[in-house]
Amino acid sequence: MTLADFKSLKDSRILRGVVLYAYIPLSVMYMELLLRILCGYRVVPGLHFALLVSCTAGLIISAVALLFSRQKVCRCVACIMTGLVCVVFTLEYFMYSTYKVFMSFDTIFISESRYTI
């Protein structure tokens, strides 16, 4: 494979899709595992379910990012969506470290005394 062949592959939409379909699910899985470790949970129990959900969420984000045909727009959308996922995982860790509960509809919308510091 020559350098010219590699450059033509680099610009192709197929390669961009493969990279996004691999990168985003792996980054979501990494954040899920990191959250488990930081919160003090064991990694192995329930790992298969967490990886399945993380992979599905990452593939959905990748599919949304690939809806745009221009490379710069696609990359920008992928970066924004990955940043939003990072913010969600940061909020999850903050909620757990502060209130010892994970973020859910109950903890977001119901303000009861049991969730006070």
Tokens in use for 93? 């860790």
CA distance 44 to 49: 10
CA distance 54 to 58: 6
- In this prediction, what percent of the chain has a pLDDT beyond 70? 74
pLDDT tens, 17-62? 677 777 778 888 888 888 888 888 887 787 788 788 888 887 887 7
In three-state secondary structure terms, 82 is: helix
CA distance 34 to 85: 13
| Phi, psi (deg, nearest 5) at residue 41 | -85, 155
